[in-house]
Amino acid sequence: MPSITTVFSAYTSLAASVMLIKTVLREAKTILTQFIPERIQKKIISKLESLFAHPTSDLTLIINEENGYGINDMYEASEVYLRTKITSTTLKRLIVSKYEREKNLTVTAAKDQNIIDIFEGIQLKWRLSCTEKESTSNGRKEHKFFELTFQKQHKEIVLDSYLPYVLNRSQDIKEENKVMKIYSLESYGDKGSWRSVKLNHPATFNTLAMDTNLKKEVVEDLDKFVKRRDFYKRVGKPWKRGYLLFGPPGTGKSSLIAAMENYLNFNVYDLELANISSNSELRRLLLATRNRSMLVIEDIDCSVELKDRTTTNEIKKGAKLTLSGLLNIIDGLWSSCGDERIIVFTTNYKDRLDPALLRPGRMDKHIHMSYCTPCGFKFLASNYLLIQSSPLFEEIEFLISNVNVSPVEIAEELMKSDDANISLNGLVNFLQRKKTEQSKCNGEGSESQEITNRKCNVEELEGQVTTNHKPKKWQNTCNVNENEVKNSSKKTRKPRTIQA
């Protein structure tokens, strides 16, 4: 049995050794900070600390930002959830940001900060870490990941209860805040990846100058799509739907996309095919998109030259991105790698598209965005000028029925003055000029009509208007009032019988 003096002497020596080790580590950190890059610092310090650390019963889970081709759902859920766990007493460094049209600040933890959470009496420590993944001419790309540390004995509770709770809670937070994003491509060297910003487009079905019946048809089709998970599974089809929006420039194709996004609360992926180098690159990017999202490819007829599938030497000609590659992604085996997705193509010229793109299963619903109609004008006048009638309405409706004019052009004229009479008179003059110009293009005789039409099309394309679309005769029987407009596109997702 050692004496008290011996025990005390041993304890003193041990305490002195511990203090010496701490001093060495502290001095080492100081030296490393001054002379060694941060990435190497972390590795050296980690090794030193592990040499003198006591055995622990802790377990650490790594939650990477990226999961193969796409974003890790668990990482994004953790990021959203941890914003609700930030307190000024536990953190020394915070990242504060504010997005346009948001009332509140967004506060997140800076990297290498510990966030403590308690779940069913278990203490869990979160930590955001970053390491440099690759360096390109466009800058450094960081690899981000969360470290979740807890005692090993609680492993089953964390995996079976806590992490599912974080996923569900993050979804509730997103629904409460209605945060929607638009993703676009950002290049790193010869590769691209999705980067997002918050999407706050104000267009809704209540503000869309579109034929009332067509608008109602689109809303009902969207409602039916989101309710048919079991149907798609039963019939063995991927849970996706394709829309083709076609019509002259300025007829509201982009606004309809925004209205669909706001109605469904889906994120939007804006894909420019001109930035895609190959079929494999396209496949990698589309697999990185999320469920409950809209993939938008605008101006599909002119964004990139897609070689016809029957062309046997397309690869030899250097066409790395092919029509076959695009079709396989939107309707082949790869299209089943995700649920509840909508694909939207837009074009000004439907007849220029390959028929393979248009068949059901790829583009299930074709929506013609036409020139402005008398009903559309009344809708715009109600929204822009807050009026339901005027002595000038009859003349304007007659001119619109006989002139090819887009809703965007009508809206531009209505915005020129806050005085309704001044705006309407300006619109009358504008429509009369349009009618005169189009009459000149179409009145040179039947023998040269085809040449004249081509000339008019070229001239008006420069002004973003095409004249090869003949105006329809519309009945002036539509009475627009605010209640009817709102009711026509209100979310009334009532059960109804659907014929499969």
Q: Where are the domains of the chain?
A: 56-179, 192-368, 374-488
Spatial distance between the Cα atoms of 272 and 256, rounded to a whole number of angstroms: 19
Phi, psi of 341 (to 5 degrees): -120, 145
pLDDT confidence of residue 56: 64
Under the banding of pLDDT at 50, 70 and 90, the label for residue 308 is low
Percent of the chain residues past pLDDT 70, beyond the cut: 68
Angle between the 420-442 and 407-414 helix axes, to the nearest 10 degrees?
Answer: 140
Q: Is 281 helix (H, G, I), strand (E, B) or coil?
A: helix
Instruction: Retrieve residue 81's tokens.
Output: 């959830």
3-state helix, strand, coil in the chain (%, to 5): 45, 20, 35
CB 209, CB 478: distance < 8 Å: no
DSSP structure class, residue 192: E
Tell me how far the alpha carbon of residue 206 is from its chain's centroid. Answer: 21
Spatial distance between the Cα atoms of 29 and 252, rounded to a whole number of angstroms: 60
Angle between the 374-384 and 393-401 helix axes, to the nearest 10 degrees?
Answer: 140
Distances (CA, A) of 358 to 185, 283, 336, 408: 26, 20, 19, 27
The residues, any chain, with a CB within 8 Å of residue 93's CB and separated by 6 or more, are 109, 110, 113
The residues, any chain, with a CB within 8 Å of residue 320's CB and separated by 6 or more, are 277, 278, 279
Q: What is the CA radius of gyration of the chain?
A: 31
Spatial distance between the Cα atoms of 147 and 84, rounded to a whole number of angstroms: 17
Residue keyed to tokens 């504008």: 430
More confident position, 360 or 405: 405
pLDDT confidence of residue 189: 55
Under the banding of pLDDT at 50, 70 and 90, the label for residue 69 is low
CATH class name, domain 192-368: alpha beta
Under the banding of pLDDT at 50, 70 and 90, the label for residue 469 is very low
What is the residue-averaged pLDDT of the chain? 77
User: What is this structure's pTM?
Assistant: 0.65
For 392, what's the count of Cα atoms within 13 Å in the CB-facing half-sphere? 15
Under the banding of pLDDT at 50, 70 and 90, the label for residue 126 is very high
- 106-115, 232-241, 242-251, 339-348: least confidently modelled range: 106-115
Count H helices, E strands: the chain? Answer: 17, 15
- 25-39, 206-220, 291-305, 403-417: least confidently modelled range: 25-39
Angle at 55 between CA 52 and CA 61, to 5 degrees: 105
Q: Average pLDDT of 36-57?
A: 62
Spatial distance between the Cα atoms of 85 and 109, rounded to a whole number of angstroms: 10
Spatial distance between the Cα atoms of 64 and 79, rounded to a whole number of angstroms: 11
Spatial distance between the Cα atoms of 17 and 453, rounded to a whole number of angstroms: 94
Would you say residue 461 has pLDDT above 50? no
Would you say residue 494 has pLDDT above 50? no
Which of 79-88, 223-232, 300-309 is most confident?
Answer: 223-232
Under the banding of pLDDT at 50, 70 and 90, the label for residue 468 is very low
CA 296, 301, 304, 306 torsion: positive or negative?
positive
Strand order in the sheet with 122-136: 58-64, 139-151, 122-136, 114-119
Give the ranges where 299-354 is alpha helix by DSSP (H).
323-331
Residue 49, judged by CB atoms within 10 A of its CB (0-12, 13-18, 19+), counts as exposed
Under the banding of pLDDT at 50, 70 and 90, the label for residue 486 is very low
Long-range CB contacts (within 8 A, 24+) of 428-433: 428/392, 428/395, 428/396, 428/399, 431/396, 431/399, 431/400, 431/403, 431/405, 432/399
Angle at 52 between CA 48 and CA 55, to 5 degrees: 125
Under the banding of pLDDT at 50, 70 and 90, the label for residue 297 is very high
Distances (CA, A) of 112 to 54, 127, 129, 359: 22, 6, 6, 52
Q: Average pLDDT of 238-252?
A: 91
More confident position, 199 or 168: 168
Strand order in the sheet with 181-188: 191-198, 181-188, 267-270, 293-297, 341-347, 240-246, 365-368
